Amino acid sequence: MQTGAWLIAGLGNPGRGYALTRHNVGFRVAEDAAARCGVTLDQNKFKARFGTGRRGGRRIIIAQPMDYMNRSGPPLRQLADYYNIEISQILVIHDDLDIEKGQIKFKEKGGHGGHNGIKSIMEAFSSGGFPRLRIGIGRPAAPMDVTGWVLGKFTAEEQRFFGPVIESAGLSVLTMIDEGLPVAMNRFNQKQVL
């Protein structure tokens, strides 16, 4: 059995206007994982929306920073300090341009790869030593710029495509909590067949 509390953080931008954008896929996976764990995201503190629960005898906190993406770090730092959670026990879920659309990949630690949310978290903790769950959204076809792509809303076809991806990612979070990061990496770090 795994020990120690987990802080599960899905990244996105607050507000209804951003709800169905590619950049908010982290929010959606966090919501899926929360539903699977029976955690209600009904608390608001430290500029974050979050809920707490227990799974397998360990505490879990599932959160969505409610500042903009490029300021995700301070809310997560405050939550981690409040609940006394080590950086290695913070899973950050985020969109990734450099992974094929629909693919999910765990990563133990690393740099920010140009992702402003990850950059903010690294600055807040003075470290990149936190695991991530990256959700591939692919890159835009020219001439659309990257900002327009990530802040663009999913098309109806993409919505249908990403439904099973979000469910698989939510399930992968539970696998990580229950069986550990190496098991989750081995099971989910492969091309999604949809």
pLDDT at 148: 83
How many angstroms separate the CA atoms of 129 and 15, rounded? 29
- What is the pLDDT, as a whole number, of residue 194? 46
Identify the bridge partners of residue 91 per DSSP, sorted by sequence position.
8
pLDDT-flagged residues of the chain (< 70):
1-3, 144, 191-194
pTM of the full structure: 0.93
pLDDT at position 191 is 57
Contact of 135 with 189, CB cutoff 8 Å: no
Residue 16: how many other CB atoms lie within 10 Å: 6
- Backbone dihedral region of 7: left (phi > 0), alpha (psi from -120 to 50 degrees) or beta? beta
Q: What is the pLDDT of residue 138?
A: 87
Tell me the catalytic residues: 23
Give all strands of the β-sheet with 58-65 in edge-to-edge order: 43-45, 48-55, 58-65, 6-10, 90-96, 132-136, 104-107
Architecture of domain 6-188: 3-Layer(aba) Sandwich (3.40)
Distance CA(186)–CA(194), nearest Å, equals: 19
Instruction: Give the DSSP per-residue string, 89-116.
Output: GEEEEEEETTS-TT-EEEESS---TT-H
